[in-house]
Structure 1
Amino acid sequence: MLLPYREAGRVEAGCDEAGRGCLAGAVFAAAVILPADFKNPDLNDSKQLSEKRRYALRPVIEREAIAWAVGVVSPEEIDRMNILRASFLAMHRAIERLGVRPEHLLIDGNRFTPYPGIPHTTVVKGDGKYLSIAAASVLAKTYRDDYMNELALEYPAYHWSDNKGYPTQAHREAIRTHGVTPYHRKTFALLPEERQLALFAW
Protein backbone atom coordinates (compact mmCIF):
# COMPACT_ATOMS: atom_id res chain seq x y z
CA MET A 1 0.00 0.00 0.00
CA LEU A 2 1.37 3.40 -1.00
CA LEU A 3 2.07 5.97 1.69
CA PRO A 4 0.09 9.26 1.75
CA TYR A 5 3.06 11.40 2.83
CA ARG A 6 6.57 11.27 4.29
CA GLU A 7 5.86 13.69 7.11
CA ALA A 8 2.39 14.60 8.37
CA GLY A 9 1.35 18.21 8.54
CA ARG A 10 3.46 19.66 5.72
CA VAL A 11 2.72 20.37 2.08
CA GLU A 12 4.59 17.76 0.03
CA ALA A 13 4.82 17.52 -3.75
CA GLY A 14 5.68 14.26 -5.43
CA CYS A 15 7.73 14.51 -8.63
CA ASP A 16 8.47 12.04 -11.39
CA GLU A 17 9.54 12.07 -15.03
CA ALA A 18 8.72 10.14 -18.20
CA GLY A 19 10.75 9.59 -21.36
CA ARG A 20 14.26 9.58 -20.01
CA GLY A 21 15.31 6.46 -21.90
CA CYS A 22 13.77 7.42 -25.25
CA LEU A 23 15.59 8.08 -28.50
CA ALA A 24 13.11 10.73 -29.59
CA GLY A 25 10.86 13.35 -28.10
CA ALA A 26 10.88 15.63 -25.10
CA VAL A 27 11.22 14.50 -21.51
CA PHE A 28 8.17 15.26 -19.36
CA ALA A 29 7.87 15.60 -15.59
CA ALA A 30 4.98 16.23 -13.23
CA ALA A 31 4.64 17.57 -9.71
CA VAL A 32 1.55 16.73 -7.63
CA ILE A 33 0.38 17.85 -4.21
CA LEU A 34 -2.32 15.54 -2.87
CA PRO A 35 -4.55 16.02 0.17
CA ALA A 36 -3.32 14.14 3.24
CA ASP A 37 -6.49 12.01 3.21
CA PHE A 38 -6.31 11.14 -0.51
CA LYS A 39 -7.08 7.50 -1.21
CA ASN A 40 -7.33 5.57 -4.45
CA PRO A 41 -6.71 1.81 -4.52
CA ASP A 42 -6.01 1.89 -8.27
CA LEU A 43 -3.14 4.36 -8.04
CA ASN A 44 0.31 2.83 -8.41
CA ASP A 45 3.57 3.28 -10.31
CA SER A 46 2.44 4.16 -13.86
CA LYS A 47 4.65 1.38 -15.28
CA GLN A 48 2.53 -1.14 -13.36
CA LEU A 49 -0.74 0.19 -14.77
CA SER A 50 -2.40 -0.42 -18.11
CA GLU A 51 -2.75 2.49 -20.50
CA LYS A 52 -6.50 2.46 -19.93
CA ARG A 53 -6.04 2.65 -16.15
CA ARG A 54 -3.52 5.50 -16.41
CA TYR A 55 -5.88 7.59 -18.51
CA ALA A 56 -8.78 6.81 -16.16
CA LEU A 57 -6.71 7.99 -13.19
CA ARG A 58 -5.52 11.24 -14.77
CA PRO A 59 -8.76 13.23 -14.39
CA VAL A 60 -9.20 11.87 -10.86
CA ILE A 61 -5.74 13.11 -9.89
CA GLU A 62 -6.27 16.48 -11.55
CA ARG A 63 -9.64 16.94 -9.87
CA GLU A 64 -8.64 15.86 -6.36
CA ALA A 65 -5.07 17.21 -6.16
CA ILE A 66 -4.42 20.41 -4.21
CA ALA A 67 -2.16 21.38 -7.10
CA TRP A 68 -0.52 19.71 -10.09
CA ALA A 69 1.64 20.77 -13.01
CA VAL A 70 3.64 19.34 -15.90
CA GLY A 71 7.07 20.47 -17.12
CA VAL A 72 8.67 19.72 -20.49
CA VAL A 73 12.25 19.84 -21.82
CA SER A 74 12.70 19.63 -25.59
CA PRO A 75 14.98 17.25 -27.53
CA GLU A 76 17.20 20.22 -28.44
CA GLU A 77 17.62 21.11 -24.77
CA ILE A 78 18.34 17.47 -23.93
CA ASP A 79 21.14 17.45 -26.49
CA ARG A 80 22.61 20.63 -25.04
CA MET A 81 22.65 19.60 -21.39
CA ASN A 82 22.34 15.75 -21.25
CA ILE A 83 19.30 13.71 -20.27
CA LEU A 84 19.94 13.60 -16.52
CA ARG A 85 20.08 17.39 -16.18
CA ALA A 86 17.14 17.70 -18.57
CA SER A 87 15.06 15.37 -16.37
CA PHE A 88 15.79 17.54 -13.33
CA LEU A 89 14.98 20.69 -15.30
CA ALA A 90 11.63 19.21 -16.35
CA MET A 91 10.85 18.59 -12.67
CA HIS A 92 11.90 22.15 -11.80
CA ARG A 93 9.59 23.50 -14.50
CA ALA A 94 6.71 21.45 -13.11
CA ILE A 95 7.41 22.61 -9.56
CA GLU A 96 7.55 26.27 -10.54
CA ARG A 97 4.17 25.97 -12.26
CA LEU A 98 2.39 24.63 -9.16
CA GLY A 99 -0.34 26.93 -7.90
CA VAL A 100 0.62 26.08 -4.30
CA ARG A 101 4.22 26.25 -3.12
CA PRO A 102 5.24 22.96 -1.47
CA GLU A 103 7.22 22.83 1.76
CA HIS A 104 8.99 19.64 0.74
CA LEU A 105 9.61 17.65 -2.43
CA LEU A 106 9.53 13.87 -2.83
CA ILE A 107 11.65 13.01 -5.87
CA ASP A 108 11.55 9.66 -7.62
CA GLY A 109 15.11 8.36 -8.00
CA ASN A 110 18.42 8.70 -6.19
CA ARG A 111 19.64 12.10 -7.43
CA PHE A 112 18.24 15.58 -7.91
CA THR A 113 19.40 19.12 -8.46
CA PRO A 114 17.96 21.04 -5.48
CA TYR A 115 15.07 23.36 -6.25
CA PRO A 116 15.75 26.82 -4.77
CA GLY A 117 14.25 27.26 -1.31
CA ILE A 118 12.50 23.89 -1.05
CA PRO A 119 14.13 20.88 0.67
CA HIS A 120 13.77 17.50 -0.99
CA THR A 121 14.08 13.78 -0.38
CA THR A 122 15.01 11.35 -3.13
CA VAL A 123 13.22 8.01 -3.04
CA VAL A 124 14.40 5.07 -5.14
CA LYS A 125 11.35 3.51 -6.83
CA GLY A 126 9.31 6.18 -5.11
CA ASP A 127 6.46 5.82 -7.59
CA GLY A 128 5.76 2.48 -5.93
CA LYS A 129 6.01 3.89 -2.39
CA TYR A 130 4.27 7.30 -2.22
CA LEU A 131 0.90 8.30 -3.62
CA SER A 132 2.06 11.76 -4.71
CA ILE A 133 4.99 10.36 -6.71
CA ALA A 134 2.74 7.70 -8.25
CA ALA A 135 0.27 10.44 -9.22
CA ALA A 136 3.10 12.45 -10.78
CA SER A 137 4.22 9.37 -12.72
CA VAL A 138 0.72 8.93 -14.16
CA LEU A 139 0.50 12.57 -15.28
CA ALA A 140 4.01 12.66 -16.74
CA LYS A 141 3.45 9.40 -18.62
CA THR A 142 0.02 10.22 -20.04
CA TYR A 143 0.90 13.75 -21.11
CA ARG A 144 4.06 12.51 -22.78
CA ASP A 145 2.11 9.73 -24.52
CA ASP A 146 -0.33 12.34 -25.87
CA TYR A 147 2.63 14.33 -27.20
CA MET A 148 4.24 11.30 -28.87
CA ASN A 149 0.92 10.31 -30.43
CA GLU A 150 0.76 13.76 -32.03
CA LEU A 151 4.32 13.43 -33.34
CA ALA A 152 3.42 10.01 -34.76
CA LEU A 153 0.92 11.69 -37.07
CA GLU A 154 3.75 13.81 -38.47
CA TYR A 155 6.24 10.92 -38.74
CA PRO A 156 4.23 7.67 -38.98
CA ALA A 157 7.18 5.58 -40.20
CA TYR A 158 8.75 5.57 -36.72
CA HIS A 159 5.77 3.90 -34.98
CA TRP A 160 5.80 6.41 -32.13
CA SER A 161 2.16 5.77 -31.33
CA ASP A 162 3.29 2.27 -30.29
CA ASN A 163 6.84 2.74 -28.97
CA LYS A 164 6.52 6.35 -27.69
CA GLY A 165 10.10 7.02 -28.81
CA TYR A 166 11.70 4.16 -26.90
CA PRO A 167 14.42 2.08 -28.62
CA THR A 168 12.34 -0.76 -30.05
CA GLN A 169 13.49 -2.77 -33.04
CA ALA A 170 10.84 -1.15 -35.26
CA HIS A 171 11.95 2.32 -34.19
CA ARG A 172 15.60 1.58 -34.91
CA GLU A 173 14.81 0.00 -38.27
CA ALA A 174 12.92 3.16 -39.20
CA ILE A 175 15.97 5.25 -38.29
CA ARG A 176 18.13 3.05 -40.53
CA THR A 177 15.67 3.38 -43.39
CA HIS A 178 14.52 6.98 -43.09
CA GLY A 179 17.22 8.69 -41.04
CA VAL A 180 16.64 10.94 -38.06
CA THR A 181 13.91 13.52 -37.53
CA PRO A 182 14.06 16.91 -35.79
CA TYR A 183 12.61 15.16 -32.73
CA HIS A 184 15.42 12.62 -32.31
CA ARG A 185 18.01 13.16 -29.59
CA LYS A 186 21.15 13.59 -31.66
CA THR A 187 23.54 13.01 -28.76
CA PHE A 188 22.08 9.54 -28.12
CA ALA A 189 23.45 6.39 -29.78
CA LEU A 190 20.37 5.97 -31.92
CA LEU A 191 21.58 2.67 -33.41
CA PRO A 192 23.54 -0.11 -31.68
CA GLU A 193 26.27 0.07 -34.32
CA GLU A 194 26.85 3.73 -33.43
CA ARG A 195 27.65 2.71 -29.88
CA GLN A 196 30.06 0.03 -31.08
CA LEU A 197 31.84 2.51 -33.33
CA ALA A 198 32.13 4.98 -30.46
CA LEU A 199 33.64 2.30 -28.21
CA PHE A 200 36.04 1.24 -30.97
CA ALA A 201 37.12 4.86 -31.50
CA TRP A 202 37.72 5.24 -27.78
Structure 2
Amino acid sequence: MPGPPACGRGAAQSTAASEEEIDTSQHRSDEGLGRSRGGLTCKIHLAGEGGCRPLALLVTPGQWGDSPQLIPVLERIRVKRPGGGRPRTRPDHLGGDKAYSSRRNRRYLRGRQIKRTIPEPRDQRANRRRRGSRGGRPVGFDKELYKRRNEVERTINRLKHSRVVATRYDKRAYVFHGTVTVASTRLWLKP
Protein backbone atom coordinates (compact mmCIF):
# COMPACT_ATOMS: atom_id res chain seq x y z
CA MET A 1 0.00 0.00 0.00
CA PRO A 2 1.41 3.42 -0.92
CA GLY A 3 2.18 5.94 1.78
CA PRO A 4 0.66 9.38 2.24
CA PRO A 5 1.07 11.90 -0.57
CA ALA A 6 4.16 14.10 -0.64
CA CYS A 7 2.10 17.24 -0.07
CA GLY A 8 1.48 16.15 3.56
CA ARG A 9 -2.23 15.38 3.35
CA GLY A 10 -3.50 12.04 4.53
CA ALA A 11 -5.08 9.49 2.20
CA ALA A 12 -8.62 10.46 3.29
CA GLN A 13 -7.99 14.14 2.63
CA SER A 14 -6.44 13.32 -0.75
CA THR A 15 -9.47 11.35 -1.99
CA ALA A 16 -11.88 14.03 -0.73
CA ALA A 17 -9.96 16.70 -2.63
CA SER A 18 -9.98 14.65 -5.83
CA GLU A 19 -13.76 14.09 -5.49
CA GLU A 20 -14.27 17.85 -5.22
CA GLU A 21 -12.26 18.35 -8.40
CA ILE A 22 -14.41 15.80 -10.21
CA ASP A 23 -17.61 17.46 -8.99
CA THR A 24 -16.54 20.89 -10.24
CA SER A 25 -15.63 19.52 -13.67
CA GLN A 26 -19.09 17.98 -14.09
CA HIS A 27 -21.80 20.14 -15.57
CA ARG A 28 -25.55 19.97 -15.50
CA SER A 29 -27.47 19.25 -18.66
CA ASP A 30 -29.43 22.50 -18.42
CA GLU A 31 -26.30 24.66 -18.42
CA GLY A 32 -25.48 24.08 -22.08
CA LEU A 33 -21.77 23.82 -21.33
CA GLY A 34 -19.46 21.13 -22.61
CA ARG A 35 -15.78 20.39 -23.01
CA SER A 36 -14.17 21.51 -26.21
CA ARG A 37 -10.65 22.46 -27.23
CA GLY A 38 -10.98 25.79 -25.45
CA GLY A 39 -12.34 24.35 -22.19
CA LEU A 40 -15.93 24.64 -21.00
CA THR A 41 -17.85 26.35 -23.76
CA CYS A 42 -21.05 26.35 -25.79
CA LYS A 43 -21.98 26.70 -29.47
CA ILE A 44 -24.53 28.92 -31.14
CA HIS A 45 -26.09 27.25 -34.19
CA LEU A 46 -28.13 29.60 -36.35
CA ALA A 47 -29.90 30.05 -39.64
CA GLY A 48 -29.54 33.50 -41.19
CA GLU A 49 -31.55 35.31 -43.85
CA GLY A 50 -28.63 36.60 -45.86
CA GLY A 51 -28.44 40.16 -44.56
CA CYS A 52 -26.57 39.18 -41.38
CA ARG A 53 -29.83 38.72 -39.49
CA PRO A 54 -30.61 35.46 -37.66
CA LEU A 55 -33.88 33.64 -38.31
CA ALA A 56 -33.50 30.80 -35.81
CA LEU A 57 -30.89 29.79 -33.28
CA LEU A 58 -29.99 26.97 -30.94
CA VAL A 59 -27.49 26.85 -28.05
CA THR A 60 -25.72 23.53 -27.42
CA PRO A 61 -22.73 22.33 -25.35
CA GLY A 62 -19.33 22.87 -26.94
CA GLN A 63 -18.58 19.23 -27.76
CA TRP A 64 -21.80 18.64 -29.73
CA GLY A 65 -21.36 18.30 -33.46
CA ASP A 66 -22.76 20.68 -36.07
CA SER A 67 -24.39 18.16 -38.40
CA PRO A 68 -27.04 16.80 -35.97
CA GLN A 69 -28.15 20.37 -35.15
CA LEU A 70 -29.14 21.33 -38.72
CA ILE A 71 -32.64 19.85 -38.55
CA PRO A 72 -33.56 21.31 -35.12
CA VAL A 73 -32.41 24.77 -36.25
CA LEU A 74 -34.42 24.57 -39.49
CA GLU A 75 -37.51 23.45 -37.57
CA ARG A 76 -37.32 26.63 -35.47
CA ILE A 77 -37.66 28.94 -38.49
CA ARG A 78 -40.93 30.90 -38.46
CA VAL A 79 -41.24 33.91 -40.79
CA LYS A 80 -44.51 35.82 -40.57
CA ARG A 81 -46.23 36.47 -43.91
CA PRO A 82 -47.12 40.10 -44.66
CA GLY A 83 -50.73 39.28 -45.65
CA GLY A 84 -51.35 36.92 -42.74
CA GLY A 85 -51.72 33.16 -42.78
CA ARG A 86 -49.36 30.43 -41.69
CA PRO A 87 -45.73 31.49 -41.22
CA ARG A 88 -43.08 30.35 -43.66
CA THR A 89 -41.01 27.50 -42.30
CA ARG A 90 -38.98 26.58 -45.35
CA PRO A 91 -36.10 28.66 -46.72
CA ASP A 92 -35.65 29.04 -50.48
CA HIS A 93 -32.03 27.94 -50.34
CA LEU A 94 -29.64 26.64 -47.70
CA GLY A 95 -25.88 27.04 -47.75
CA GLY A 96 -23.68 25.22 -45.28
CA ASP A 97 -20.11 24.08 -44.84
CA LYS A 98 -18.76 20.52 -44.89
CA ALA A 99 -19.75 19.95 -41.27
CA TYR A 100 -23.42 19.77 -42.34
CA SER A 101 -22.85 17.16 -45.03
CA SER A 102 -24.56 13.92 -44.03
CA ARG A 103 -27.03 11.55 -45.62
CA ARG A 104 -29.59 12.35 -42.96
CA ASN A 105 -29.40 16.11 -43.58
CA ARG A 106 -29.48 15.72 -47.37
CA ARG A 107 -32.48 13.36 -47.15
CA TYR A 108 -34.31 15.83 -44.88
CA LEU A 109 -33.62 18.78 -47.20
CA ARG A 110 -34.64 16.78 -50.26
CA GLY A 111 -37.88 15.73 -48.53
CA ARG A 112 -38.76 19.35 -47.75
CA GLN A 113 -37.70 20.45 -51.26
CA ILE A 114 -35.09 22.89 -49.98
CA LYS A 115 -32.34 23.71 -52.45
CA ARG A 116 -28.93 23.33 -50.88
CA THR A 117 -25.28 24.11 -51.43
CA ILE A 118 -23.24 21.91 -49.10
CA PRO A 119 -19.84 20.61 -50.25
CA GLU A 120 -19.15 16.92 -49.94
CA PRO A 121 -16.09 16.11 -47.79
CA ARG A 122 -13.28 14.16 -49.40
CA ASP A 123 -13.85 11.03 -47.29
CA GLN A 124 -17.58 10.90 -48.14
CA ARG A 125 -16.78 11.40 -51.83
CA ALA A 126 -14.24 8.54 -51.74
CA ASN A 127 -16.72 6.28 -49.92
CA ARG A 128 -19.43 7.03 -52.50
CA ARG A 129 -17.06 6.27 -55.37
CA ARG A 130 -15.87 3.09 -53.71
CA ARG A 131 -19.43 1.79 -53.49
CA GLY A 132 -19.90 2.29 -57.22
CA SER A 133 -23.49 2.47 -58.48
CA ARG A 134 -24.81 1.73 -54.97
CA GLY A 135 -23.04 4.84 -53.64
CA GLY A 136 -25.52 7.24 -55.22
CA ARG A 137 -25.14 10.25 -57.43
CA PRO A 138 -22.62 13.00 -56.82
CA VAL A 139 -24.04 15.95 -54.92
CA GLY A 140 -24.70 19.15 -56.83
CA PHE A 141 -22.48 22.03 -55.81
CA ASP A 142 -22.56 25.66 -56.99
CA LYS A 143 -19.36 27.54 -56.18
CA GLU A 144 -20.96 30.95 -56.74
CA LEU A 145 -23.73 30.31 -54.22
CA TYR A 146 -21.24 28.83 -51.77
CA LYS A 147 -19.43 32.17 -51.63
CA ARG A 148 -22.43 33.56 -49.72
CA ARG A 149 -21.96 31.06 -46.87
CA ASN A 150 -19.75 33.53 -45.05
CA GLU A 151 -22.86 35.55 -44.20
CA VAL A 152 -23.56 33.17 -41.32
CA GLU A 153 -20.04 33.67 -39.99
CA ARG A 154 -20.51 37.42 -40.25
CA THR A 155 -23.84 37.13 -38.41
CA ILE A 156 -22.18 35.27 -35.53
CA ASN A 157 -19.43 37.90 -35.52
CA ARG A 158 -22.04 40.65 -35.23
CA LEU A 159 -23.77 38.79 -32.40
CA LYS A 160 -20.47 38.59 -30.57
CA HIS A 161 -20.05 42.36 -30.80
CA SER A 162 -22.32 42.24 -27.78
CA ARG A 163 -19.94 41.54 -24.93
CA VAL A 164 -22.44 39.50 -22.93
CA VAL A 165 -22.81 37.07 -25.88
CA ALA A 166 -19.08 36.86 -26.53
CA THR A 167 -18.14 36.00 -22.95
CA ARG A 168 -21.34 34.21 -21.81
CA TYR A 169 -21.91 35.44 -18.29
CA ASP A 170 -25.15 33.42 -17.99
CA LYS A 171 -24.95 30.05 -16.28
CA ARG A 172 -28.10 28.39 -17.59
CA ALA A 173 -28.56 27.61 -21.28
CA TYR A 174 -32.10 29.00 -21.46
CA VAL A 175 -30.94 32.33 -20.00
CA PHE A 176 -28.06 32.50 -22.49
CA HIS A 177 -30.50 31.62 -25.28
CA GLY A 178 -32.59 34.62 -24.22
CA THR A 179 -29.48 36.82 -24.21
CA VAL A 180 -28.58 35.73 -27.75
CA THR A 181 -32.20 36.30 -28.82
CA VAL A 182 -32.08 39.88 -27.50
CA ALA A 183 -28.80 40.46 -29.38
CA SER A 184 -30.45 39.00 -32.51
CA THR A 185 -33.39 41.36 -32.12
CA ARG A 186 -30.98 44.27 -31.96
CA LEU A 187 -29.49 43.14 -35.29
CA TRP A 188 -32.96 43.18 -36.84
CA LEU A 189 -33.69 46.66 -35.49
CA LYS A 190 -30.50 48.24 -36.80
CA PRO A 191 -30.97 49.95 -40.19
After TM superposition, the score normalised by the length of structure 2 is 0.30
| Larger RCO (CA under 8 A, 6+ residues apart) | 1
After TM superposition, the score normalised by the length of structure 1 is 0.29
Question: Which one has the largest radius of gyration?
Answer: 2
